[in-house]
Amino acid sequence: MTRPSCITAVKRTLLAALTVASAASFAADEPLPTSVADLRYGVTLYEYYQANYFAALSELMVAEARGGIQGHKDNPELIAGSIGLAFGMEERAGAAFTKLLDQARPQVVRDTAWFYLGKLQYHQGDWLGAEQSFSQISPEVDKRLKRELASMRVQVLLRNNDFKGAKELVDGLENLGNWAELIHYNMGVSFGREGDAVAAQRYLANVTGTELNANPVEQKLQRALRDRAYTASGYVHIQQGEYDDAVAQFQRVRLTGPYSDRALLGLGWAEISRKNYDKALAPWQTLSEGSLQQSPVLESLLAIPYAYEQLNADVAALSAYESAELIFMRELEKIASLREKLAEQFLLESIRSAASNQNQSWFALDEKVALQPELAYLTEIFARNDFQTKVQSVRDLLFLQATLKQWNEKQRVYADLLVLRGQVREQKLANMEATGLLTQEAELREQAADLSAWVTAVEKDRDYLALITDEDLLDNLDIVDTALENLEDMSASGEDMSEELRQLKFFRGIISWQAQNNFSENLWAQKRHLAELNAQLEKLTQTQKSLQKAIDEAPEILPYQQRMSALDQRLAAETMAIDQQLAAEEKALRAQVLKALDEQQIRVKNYLARARLSVARLYDERLKQ
């Protein structure tokens, strides 16, 4: 199973693992939780189901660094291992599952851990280790895992050439659901390779004879597996010389399916074996339009002229051989061109351009990228099973490299913000000291106390005139008081001013009467102003306290800057490590690509040599005629 198919399998079984873990983490008499007890656990699940695996794993790691997730028992560890398995972090996944094997854990948790640990060993090709891990699982393993467990157990036995044990295990299995088809397919192919045609056909018939699933996704997988089963059955029939049955099986394979190449090739050879040379041409001609990365396509280019020769159509055969020769030569030119580009940064740039976000599939190429011939050719190479793990590793490293670059940029922004924060703090403190806000309270409170005492005295003495606010009335009072002083001086000198004095006192009495009428209103207004003043003073006091507290308790910038400096050093170290690992992975991938190109070049050269020999042979035969 390839790494992408591993990820798909983990996606399908993680929900089951979550359910199993939830049931396992709580006692039988303990109700299952209906909500998320820890926010980070909820965020992890949200990110996972949004296909943001990096973010999900990051949430788990942050939570682990801050004391772990609370309230979900063993679930977070199972999730961490499952995501690590899906992400190709095999060491982390293995450590997470191994941690859950201690006897203090519930049996169902240990079963789940053994299941995923065995699954990890299974994907690593450690068949013996996988078999040992699976043997530790109790018979009461949760039914959500039992079917996939059975499939892997059967495959392990087949890998170890224990066909008898595999047969006994499969015959004893019941209610395998959708996994039954995959198990029977693996059994059929394995027995076919061993030459047991009867057993092979029986198992393959179990794959093709089931009803189609109503679920569109499951149905698509089911149809793909049927195509492979029909193809395998056809080749088993060819081995047994049953060419009519082989043709019938090959014809059931969909032309639009991903496994049509081998079926078309086999159909042609089955027709050739039945001496139906003209009928062999149609599937081979269809096949010849496919990618030359596929060996059946290369073979079809020489099979077509062979069929023409059997039909005694030597001219058509010669033309087909010469056409194949040109195709092979162009293929060699493509290989040479791609080999030259690999000496540059083409490999990394190709993967980077095809992975615009952390979770995008390599195969989701945009139109502009897909139209580049070299990249299209490289994509076909990467689609092969033996390349997908390495390509995904490089792609993940590129994503981590870009992520660390973003974090470095954020670090610089945070550092600038800290400097700016310190500057603003110092500036505010300087401004407060310059305005004297912190020293004005006592002076203002003294003035407020004097004003309060004056209002109290005015109210006590009923000093009506003290609260006159009308400007004209104040002016008239001032004029009257001045005139009275002058008349009293004149009376003191012997003049008779009694009438004038009487009139002025009468006028002053009118003013006093007016002041008395307005006294209550003016006194209330003064008290209101005094209350507002006291409220403002209280607000000023609170503001001063807040400002002083902010100054006293404001965190020092230096510890933050020291922490940022430590993070900068850590990011630099991580960046260097990723750059080094990326260089190593890119070098290994380039070597793997070059090896694949060498192998393809050898194949194409062999086919080219055969084509040229056939051309020379046909020309020689024509010269002899």
CA distances from 349 to 372, 375, 377, 589 (A): 13, 10, 15, 13
Please give the DSSP secondary-structure letter assigned to residue 453: H
Segment 326-338 mean pLDDT = 92
Phi-psi region of 175 (alpha: psi -120 to 50; beta: other; left: phi over 0): left
Q: What percent of the chain has pLDDT over 90?
A: 24
Segment 373-379 mean pLDDT = 65
pLDDT in tens, 86-120: 666 667 777 777 777 766 677 877 888 888 888 87
pLDDT in tens, 444-497: 777 778 778 877 887 777 776 666 666 766 667 777 777 777 777 777 777 777
Residue 366 has pLDDT above 60, yes or no: no
Residue of 603 and 543 predicted with greater confidence: 603
pLDDT in tens, 8-33: 444 444 444 444 444 444 333 444 34
Q: Tell me, what's the pLDDT at 477?
A: 72
The CA angle 136-142-145, to the nearest 5 degrees, is: 80
Tokens 């499939």: give the residue: 151
**What's the pLDDT band for 613 if we cut at 50, 70, 90?**
very high
Helix 260-273 to helix 295-310 angle (10° resolution) is 20
Q: Closest by alpha carbon to 540, among 433, 445, 425, 427?
A: 445
Residue 243 has pLDDT above 90, yes or no: yes
Residue 437 has pLDDT above 90, yes or no: no
Cα 242 to Cα 245: distance, rounded to the nearest angstrom: 6
Q: Tell me, what's the pLDDT at 76?
A: 66
pLDDT in tens, 31-88: 434 444 456 667 777 777 776 777 777 777 777 666 655 544 456 676 777 777 666 6
Q: Tell me, what's the pLDDT at 55?
A: 77
Q: Tell me, what's the pLDDT at 441?
A: 66
Q: Tell me, what's the pLDDT at 479?
A: 78
pTM, two decimals, is 0.66
Segment 291-319 mean pLDDT = 93
Q: Tell me, what's the pLDDT at 67?
A: 60
Q: What percent of the chain has pLDDT over 70?
A: 77
Q: Tell me, what's the pLDDT at 241?
A: 94
Please give the full DSSP string across 530-593, using - where no structure is assigned: HHHHHHHHHHHHHHHHHHHHHHHHPPPHHHHHHHHHHHHHHHHHHHHHHHHHHHHHHHHHHHHH
Q: Tell me, what's the pLDDT at 123?
A: 78
List the structure tokens of 544: 């001063």
Q: Tell me, what's the pLDDT at 375?
A: 61
Q: Tell me, what's the pLDDT at 374?
A: 62
Segment 536-561 mean pLDDT = 71
Output phi, psi for 209, to 5 deg.
-95, 0
pLDDT in tens, 401-410: 888 899 889 8
pLDDT in tens, 411-422: 888 888 888 877
CB neighbours of 393 closer than 8 A, spacing ≥ 6?
A: 88, 585
Q: Tell me, what's the pLDDT at 572?
A: 92
The CA angle 346-352-358, to the nearest 5 degrees, is: 165
Mean pLDDT of the chain: 78
Lowest mean pLDDT among 288-302, 358-372, 501-515, 558-572: 358-372
Segment 255-264 mean pLDDT = 89
Q: Tell me, what's the pLDDT at 294?
A: 87
Residue of 482 and 357 predicted with greater confidence: 482
